[in-house]
């Protein structure tokens, strides 16, 4: 029985984001246009090489996978990773900060795509924060 549903949900969302980013590799330019970053990615491709946007997307996907693996480890579904409590809280902090950055960027108007990505970041951050607090409480009970 999984005793930390918050982290399990966070891991699931991160796994979906990982898979989604990998699937986007097939139509990356179209996805960049949808997200409104085509000009930026074209600039990066011109500056750093045509494969740079693909490499960047894979790196981002792997970051989502790492977040999911840490949550699964904290849930004791996979082997225990080092610095698990610190990792969970750092992940929570990164997602929450990403959400606050997104909110600040949307002050003068926003698209629903921006709203959804900012909301998703906040949800994941809170799932990891609440789940991390439960991991911390369990750790204190073990001592």
pTM of the complete model: 0.92
With respect to residue 141, please indicate whether it lies within any of the assigned structural domains: no
Evaluate if residue 1 carries a pLDDT over 70: no
Q: Tokens 């600040």: give the residue.
A: 104
pLDDT digits 0-9 by tens, 36-85: 899 999 999 999 999 999 999 999 999 999 999 999 999 999 999 999 99
Tens of pLDDT, residue by residue over 82-104, are 999 999 999 999 999 999 999 99
Distance CA 140, CA 143 (A): 5
Please measure the distance between the N-terminal and C-terminal CA atoms of the chain and give it in whole angstroms. Answer: 22
Domain-embedded: residue 143: no
What is residue 3's DSSP assignment?
S
State the Cα–Cα distance between residues 71 and 3, nearest whole angstrom. Answer: 12
**Whole domain around residue 80: which residue ranges?**
5-136
Total domains present in the chain: 1
**Residue 50 has which token pair?**
């045509």
């Amino acid at each position: 029985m999984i005793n930390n549903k918050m982290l399990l949900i966070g891991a699931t969302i991160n796994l979906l984001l990982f898979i989604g980013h990998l699937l986007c590799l097939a139509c990356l330019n179209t996805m960049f246009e949808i997200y409104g970053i085509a000009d930026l990615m074209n600039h990066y491709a011109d500056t750093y090489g045509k494969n740079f946007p693909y490499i960047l997307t894979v790196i981002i996907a792997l970051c989502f996978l790492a977040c999911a693996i840490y949550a699964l480890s904290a849930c004791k579904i996979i082997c225990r990773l080092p610095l698990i409590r610190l990792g969970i809280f750092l992940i929570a902090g990164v997602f929450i900060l990403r959400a606050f950055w997104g909110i600040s960027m949307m002050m003068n108007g926003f698209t629903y795509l921006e709203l959804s990505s900012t909301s998703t970041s906040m949800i994941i951050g809170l799932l990891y924060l609440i789940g991390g607090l439960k991991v911390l409480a369990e750790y204190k009970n073990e001592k």
